[in-house]
Amino acid sequence: MKICRIFRGVYILVKIIRAMTCNEGLSNNFEATIISQHLKLEELPDRLIDYYSLWPSNIEFDKDKVIRLWIAQGFFDFEYGRGVEIVANKYFEDMLKVNRIVQSRFDMANGRIKYKVGSSCSNSWVQEAQLSGIAEVRNLFLLSESFGKDTLKTLQKFNQLRTLVLSYRHEHSIKRVPDHLFLKMQHLRTLDLHATNITELPNSISYLSSLRYLDLSDTPIRLLPESIGRLWYLQILKLERCSNFSRLPYCTSKLVNLRHLDLNIVGRLRSMPVGMGNLTRLQTLKGFILGKGEGYDVRELRQLTDLCGSIRISRLENISSVEEAREVELNKKHLDKLELHWEHHQDDFPFLVDEILEYLQPHLRLKELQISFYSGSRFPTWMSNSYLSNIVSITLLECKSCIYLPFLGGLQSLKSLFLIHMYGVRSIDSRFCRYGGSRVGPAFPKLEKLKIDGMPKLEKWTGVKNGDFPCLLQLSVICCAKLVAIPMLPLLSALKILYISYCYELQSFPKGKLPSKLESLAIADCPLLKKRCLKLQGKDWSKIKHIPSIFIDREEMSST
């Protein structure tokens, strides 16, 4: 039977490899059906249902969390890179269809759907007072008032625990887990302490030799003990929104089975530990902070071929040579979003920065790109040759030495473009829409949002032809103190929202009415334009009076 199970797993993985290689993905029904049929022979669905049905019915969760908990519990006894997550995702979707799992709400803050277990599941939180009456338990969701000594003593008797989720009701809950708590929990696979007041973990966490999943998100934890390096099986480490967290342990490179490192680097984290390139199974690494020297530099990313989702690479000023950048290989096909961030401008060697960025070329499937504090004088060729055919969002922030904007008009999928604090740009011309004038068809065919904010030297904006920007819905022009005119406005036939502020030299709107579909116009701190747009007496009032919502210097103007 065991041999049979192994062969089935290998067969499934062969199908996954074939699907991924052929760009078919698992959306293909034929491939997904084969995978589903073979896994159900293992009675896997029943095991998954038994586990998540223990969850309290009032607890919301993300899809990724459920999938990662399933993997941590060992419900999938084969491993191949992203293949495990792909198959687990298929089972999640199947259970969603039959209401074993149901949608709860859409979380606007994180842009994710929240889920709950189906209504047939009972609330499984265990009250602190109930612990003494439990002889043995494998999956424990504990709701505690104070997490006192009696509770700790009772927890120690559960030496077969595989899941431990702790939740506190009060702010004055325990801040440190006692050393002896973990000494007899060798079978524990999941430890969830998120949203507690834990500030540190004991060295005895190394006794959790079976631990796969550790969640410390939303806690004030500062450091992790070096003994965590002995958790050889650890697959998921969550440290999101830990604002006090200062550094990863030096032993992080020993966690060779780590698949997901959810780390918010907005806090005090200043560098990464040496040897992150050893974590070749990593799929989630939201931030990588470059250091100097072997084991700390950008080449550590080269071996992380399974990275997916988003990553922000910061302190790029620590790349010392073009050769170092050439060896990075950022061409990772599963990444959706890439942020390239310099901490400060390198004014001494701008030509070197140009060449470095040229070699930081992402995969053509990338969907979102942000470049921040880049001090080069030109943008890379891979931005301007329609290479990024799937890109939907681009942000250029504080690229102060660039005089010209890159040619972006040929990007067929681009929907959002944000150009922020481009201090060196003096004019926007046809090179922004058409490379060498050879562009066939409309420029920016899918663009819906365009924001230009902080171009104090911008004087002219030309090069837009009739038919360009056919889908543009929102246009914001902010802090362009020398801009005299925006002549293409009547050509933006789909425009619905127009916001103009701090454009002191902007004198008037172009001839003719503004777009007929315009629903909202806001003008702020543009004294010359304001004078022209005053109700009845302004010379441009006839051009804007058809717009339903008009605000000038934050005062609503009615057309009636």
Choose the most confident range, by mean pLDDT, from 51-60, 162-171, 527-536. 527-536
The predicted model scores a pTM of 0.85
How do residues 416-434 score in pLDDT, each as one tens digit? 999 999 999 999 998 999 8
Q: Which two tokens stand for residue 553?
A: 């210097």
Q: How far is CA 477 from CA 27, 456, 523, 557, in A?
A: 41, 11, 10, 20
Which residue type, as a one-letter code, is found at position 403?
I
CATH class of 127-265: alpha beta
Q: Which two tokens stand for residue 119?
A: 């209504």
| CA–CA distance, 135 with 133 (Å, rounded to integer) | 6
Q: What percent of the chain has pLDDT over 70?
A: 81
Q: Which of 271, 205, 203, 264 shows the shortest CA–CA distance to 233?
A: 205
The dihedral through the CA atoms of 226, 246, 317, 281 has a sign that is positive
Residue 322 confidence (pLDDT) above 60: yes
Q: Are 177 and 149 in contact (CB under 8 A)?
A: no
Is the model more confident about 208 or about 62? 208
Q: Span 268-277, mean pLDDT?
A: 86
How do residues 92-145 score in pLDDT, each as one tens digit? 888 888 888 888 898 887 778 988 877 665 555 566 666 767 777 888 877 766
Q: Which of 267, 266, 287, 265 shows the shortest CA–CA distance to 276?
A: 287
Q: Are 61 and 69 in contact (CB under 8 A)?
A: no
How do residues 488-514 score in pLDDT, each as one tens digit? 999 999 999 999 999 999 999 988 788
- In the chain, residues under CATH classification 1.10.10 are 40-125
Q: Are 498 and 472 in contact (CB under 8 A)?
A: no
How do residues 298-307 score in pLDDT, each as one tens digit? 889 998 999 9
Q: Which CATH architecture has domain 40-125?
A: Orthogonal Bundle (1.10)
How do residues 236-267 score in pLDDT, each as one tens digit? 999 988 888 988 999 999 999 999 999 876 55
* Number of Cβ within a 10 Å radius of residue 106: 10
How large is the C-alpha radius of gyration of the chain?
A: 28
Residue 152 confidence (pLDDT) above 60: yes
SS3 341: strand
The dihedral through the CA atoms of 92, 93, 96, 98 has a sign that is negative
1 — pLDDT class (breaks 50, 70, 90): very low
SS3 125: coil
553 — pLDDT class (breaks 50, 70, 90): very high
CA angle, corner 414, sides to 432 and 20, nearest 5?
130
- In the chain, residues under CATH classification 3.80.10.10 are 127-265
Q: Which of 328, 284, 277 shows the shortest CA–CA distance to 310?
A: 284
| CA–CA distance, 399 with 116 (Å, rounded to integer) | 44
